[in-house]
Amino acid sequence: MSATVELTKENFDQTVTENEFVLIDFWAEWCGPCKQFAPVYEKAAEDNPDLVFGKVDTEAQPELAAAFGIQSIPTLMIVRDQVAVFAQPGALPEAALTDVIGQARKLDMDQVRQQIAEQQAQQQGGQGA
């Protein structure tokens, strides 16, 4: 049995909403680097059973790929508390993937949300001040 979950437009929002920590692999059947990354991703899923490892087939789910502006595959995205905290194209070696997961686990999500709020406030250019 696979340790990864296939994400579709039907279950994507529910998966991201109901789980605190979701990794998403955007891939396609025809993509060589995606096929090389698949066993690395699968092993990480087995090594981290407390996290949700999802896969989005960009051919079958073009709306999801477009919604996230996926330009090249594979692209790995990490979503914590419904906030994308990491997104990077390219197949990661096992050690790099383990490192990224470790860094994402250590994030203080209150601090991340505060930074996002500050950035949004700055983008609004101090309107009404």
Active site residues: 31, 34
What distance, in Å, lies between the first and last C-alpha atoms of the chain? 57
Residue that has been written with the tokens 């049995």 in this structure? 1
What gap in Å lies between CA 2 and CA 53, rounded to an integer?
10
The Cα 71–Cα 40 span in angstroms is 21
Question: Distance of CA 112 to CAs 31, 41, 80, 96, 118, Å?
Answer: 33, 25, 10, 22, 10
